[in-house]
Amino acid sequence: MTTRAQIQQELRSFLPAGPDVRLSAYFSLVERAAQIGYWRYDLCDQTHFWSPGMYRLMGIDPAVQRPDNDWLRRQLPPAAQTIVAELLAEAIRTRSPFSHCLHDVTLGPLLSGLYGQVIDMHGEVEIGDNGRVIAVIGVCQNITQRVRDEEARAVAQEQYRVMTREASDIIIFYTASGDILFASEALERILGRSASEIERGKFFNLVHPNDLDEARKLNVIPRRGQTFTATYRVRHQDGHYLWLEVVTRTIYDDKTGAVRNIVSVSRDITIRKEHEQEIAAARKRAEAANLAKSRFLANMSHELRTPLNAIIGFTELMRQKIMGPLGNPRYEEYANIIYNSGQHLLDLITDMLDMAKIEAGKLALNFEEVDLAEIIQDVANVMRERAQTGGVKIVIQQMPALFITADHRAIKQILLNLLSNAIKFTPGGGQVGVAVERHETKVRIIVSDTGIGIAAEDLKRLGTPFEQGRSNPFIAQGGTGLGLALIKALSESHGGGVIIESVEGYGTTVSVDLAARPAARAAA
């Protein structure tokens, strides 16, 4: 068995002697650093010589095993064995250098029997003194990792090309000076443009004149981690404009901190913009229609109140018999019906007028110091006759004077609507209660009844103008559905709100919050 010392002596015999023996050390260093190995095949005695690097590369311990032709063949796939034999034969015949990349090579036991390796081989023939080819020499290098890396890069690049080619967004890489390094195919597909038409500032020639300021937001290089976004119109190659949403981000060199390039992603949002414009136009039309409706209701309500006041006034004179007896008891009944109907219609018109003013922003409120307890008592006295007629009892919580900053008429209207609704929806024998809670910054008015209640699915609709809690004409009472909407609007104008709690068949509780001292109003 050949020893390590014999192998080293064999290598020294290959290298020059004397001072140049240092080349041996240099050669060994090169083999280790470059992961290469040298080999020589003597055609005369058919022996192999391997350098230490060749043993390392092939995973063989030279003290255990020396290479021979049979062992070498077994490390190669059958097809490769034939190719190598033909390659060496051709090199010997033509006395020319050769090279070949061997795939699926199996390595020796020192490398855990690795297989599937890629070995790059370069060599030439050695000519003896007699002019004949006496040996074949070569250098091998394991390039498996390099090949795997190149294959992975190729796959990644192909995936990236497919991704950018199929992406619906325009992806562009460019330098800080505006030179385009890469532009995805979506540029041509979406805008009908080429990279040369948009690089180095020429892109701004395609931007809609009204959107130039928006587009110039992207004329600044984003800082690390920063992105810029702009939305503007760009002219297509055929002349029409498209809306683009463009996001830019800078890629910096991690080591030097210098700008490497800038990436921008542009998305066609034309359809979205058209929808937004349609929605905005529809909203504008709706607001205009709503304003026209509010003005119409305000004017119409005002015109209706004038004749109603006359009807109610003259009917009251008839009821009081100011000008003498009516002459027939049925006329007195008719006068009462006319009076009550006119009063009810006047209440509805007043609600419509106030709601129209609120929606038009023209309801003028006069904030002053008012006694809430006194207003509650006055409203209860007004509503007591209506409650007694329906067999409903009004119970007012005893309370001392309670002063808040509010509009006297608005608070009175809130209470009138609350009590009117409660009495209207409470059957005979029921009860309506009024209580007040004083908190640190607000006052809560609570009106509860033992009436028919409100279904859960109806609760969410209440507070919207012209919505009622009951759609069944045999259950619903007269009204426009404006009562709670007015209460809600007036309470909000006082820095508060409305809470409605109800159980169908058991009654309803409405809580109205009012700021004791509305900050904005107090400051005014």
Q: How high is the mean pLDDT of the chain? A: 81
Q: What DSSP string describes 45-111?
A: TTEEEE-HHHHHHHT--TTT----HHHHHHTS-HHHHHHHHHHHHHHHHHT--EEEEEEEEPP-GGG
pLDDT score at 481: 54
Q: Which of 225, 223, 269, 226 is nearest to 246 (CA)?
A: 269
Please give the Cα distance from 230 to 241 (Å, whole number).
16
Beta pairing partners, 234: 207, 242
% of the chain with per-residue pLDDT over 90: 18
Please give the Cα distance from 419 to 448 (Å, whole number).
9
Which residue segments constitute the domains of the chain, with CATH numbers given? 4-148 (3.30.450.20), 167-268 (3.30.450.20), 276-358 (1.10.287), 364-523 (3.30.565.10)
Residue with tokens 């060199």: 253
pLDDT score at 476: 39
pLDDT tens, residue by residue, 464-494: 554 444 443 333 344 445 678 888 888 888 8
- Phi–psi pair at 349, nearest 5 degrees: -65, -40
Burial class for 172, CB neighbours closer than 10 Å (0-12, 13-18, 19+): buried
pLDDT tens, residue by residue, 28-47: 788 888 889 998 989 988 88
Tokens standing for residue 218: 């992207």
Q: Looking at residue 207, what DSSP letter applies?
A: B
Q: What is the largest CA-CA distance in the chain?
A: 160
Tokens standing for residue 510: 């409405």
Q: Looking at residue 477, what DSSP letter applies?
A: P
pLDDT score at 471: 42
Q: Which of 427, 446, 445, 434 is nearest to 506 (CA)?
A: 427
Tokens standing for residue 284: 């504008």
pTM summary value: 0.42
Average of pLDDT values for 498-513?
90
Tokens standing for residue 502: 């109800």
Question: How far, in Å, are 39, 409, 429, 446, 479 from residue 435 at the CA level?
Answer: 107, 19, 20, 5, 25
Please give the Cα distance from 316 to 338 (Å, whole number).
9
**Opening angle at CA 138, ends 137 and 139, nearest 5:** 150
